[in-house]
Amino acid sequence: MLITFPEVMSAQNNTNSPYTRYGYGELSDPISSNSRAMGGIGFGMRDRDHVNISNPASYTAMDSLTFLFDGGVTLQNSNFSDGTYRLNAKNTSVNYFAMQFRLNKWSAVSIGMNPYSNVGYNLSQVYDDPVAESNYSSLTFYGDGGLHQLYGGIGINLLKNFSIGGNFSYIWGDIYHISSQAFPGNSSALPVTNTENVDVRSFKVDFGLQYEHRINSRNKVVVGVVFTPKQKLSNTGTEMVSVGSSTNAVVNVNDTIVTCEIPNSFGLGFTYMYNDKWTVGMDLLYQQWSKVKFMNGKNLFCDRARISVGAEYLPALYGSGYFNHIKYRVGAYYTLPYYKLNGARATKEMGVSFGFGLPVPRSNSIINLSGQYVRVQGRGANKLTENILQVTVGLTFNETWFFKRRVN
């Protein structure tokens, strides 16, 4: 048996990973462009100059006169290897966009869109029997699609140093998994194509809280917690089996309501800030994927866990010199993804990142640049390794809009 990648690929979907054959595909955590350079931390981040979509309780950190708009685009180059064959793939994708503004002195709202998951793969298996040519066959696997979220969120200051928040999202998308088997060595055997599609149209909710403790005039600590409850998604599933060539195929289509769920998700983050120049943080995330159903199936996934660490340094708050106002960022993370293969966890993942927050002259806006190296390591027999380089460009539009002008 031989497993190959058909060709060099380039796509708008932000993945070409064969591991996205499983479940919802590659999960996309809600991470802003400035946090991406810091290993993805965000649960304990309170930054008045950026939108933090990781924790809705952070929305209240912004200034009451400010309007924020944030978005990011990622360029990605991936290398896949199974020890024998290699493939390079390039992707370009819009990560997210979000806007945020104050309602009053104790609450703020955010509206935006970000991906939940991405599916994108194309690979083949060839079975070649050198003795009996009629046993020669080929399998092709193709997948595409993903889920997206449109959210509206609110953060509320309950007490001076304590805030809560919630994001209420409409989640939608289509996921396609297609497998085709052909028998070139046997003219009497008809090719078979199986297409599975899940169409999701549903809602989800995320909750967050943050507590800020100022130790003294220079030191403060923020603790953040996020929780997403287990949710059954409203969806339909379609299975289509086609036997024969495209011109004379016999097609059987079965539409049905299937059960798909997303899990309980728990996040905890800590951030320490010194003199408004140094920021150091850590996030912990745990998701109970082993307890959800997908396409009516149970026990299809492993629980997912992630630990992230990151830091940011700003040389000077005030004064002249452009380089003194650049924010320098670095981070790393380690993840155990939810993919399950042959009854065991399929992969582990780790990444390192760095980046800069470049102030726009004569403006409060910031251009966020980051680079990230990610390694996805397959586990067990026939393991596949992915090495990924990402460059993200983000813009945080930060302007003072909501103030009363005085006319003499």
CA distance 400 to 386: 44
Residue 265 CB: number of other CB atoms within 10 A? 19
* Closest by Cα among 313, 351, 269, 354 to 55: 269
- pLDDT tens-digit map of 56-102: 999 999 887 889 999 999 999 998 887 777 788 888 888 899 999 99
- Mean pLDDT for 305-325 is 91
Specify the pairing of strand 9-11 against strand 86-104: parallel
Q: Residue 310: is its pLDDT beyond 90?
A: yes
- Mean pLDDT for 306-330 is 92
- pLDDT tens-digit map of 189-225: 778 888 888 899 999 999 999 999 999 989 999 999 9
- pLDDT tens-digit map of 328-368: 999 999 999 999 988 889 999 999 999 999 999 888 899 99
Architecture of domain 18-65+94-327: Beta Barrel (2.40)
Contact assessment for residue 225 and residue 43, using Cβ atoms and an 8 Å cutoff: yes
The lowest-confidence range among 43-47, 104-108, 140-144, 403-407 is 403-407
pLDDT at 2: 40
DSSP symbols for 11-38: ESSS---GGGGSTT-EE-----HHHHTT
Arithmetic mean of pLDDT over the chain:
87
Residues forming a β-bridge with 76: 91, 390
pLDDT cut 70: percent of the chain above it: 87
- pTM, two decimals, is 0.88
pLDDT at 77: 92
Contact assessment for residue 175 and residue 25, using Cβ atoms and an 8 Å cutoff: yes
- pLDDT tens-digit map of 375-384: 999 886 657 8
**Cα–Cα–Cα angle for 203, 76, 310, rounded to 5 degrees:** 75
- pLDDT tens-digit map of 216-256: 989 999 999 999 999 999 888 887 777 776 666 666 667 77
- Mean pLDDT for 303-315 is 97
Split at pLDDT 50, 70, 90, the class of 8 is very low
CA distance 58 to 295: 35
Contact assessment for residue 375 and residue 387, using Cβ atoms and an 8 Å cutoff: yes
Q: What are phi and psi of 234, to 5 degrees?
A: -80, 120
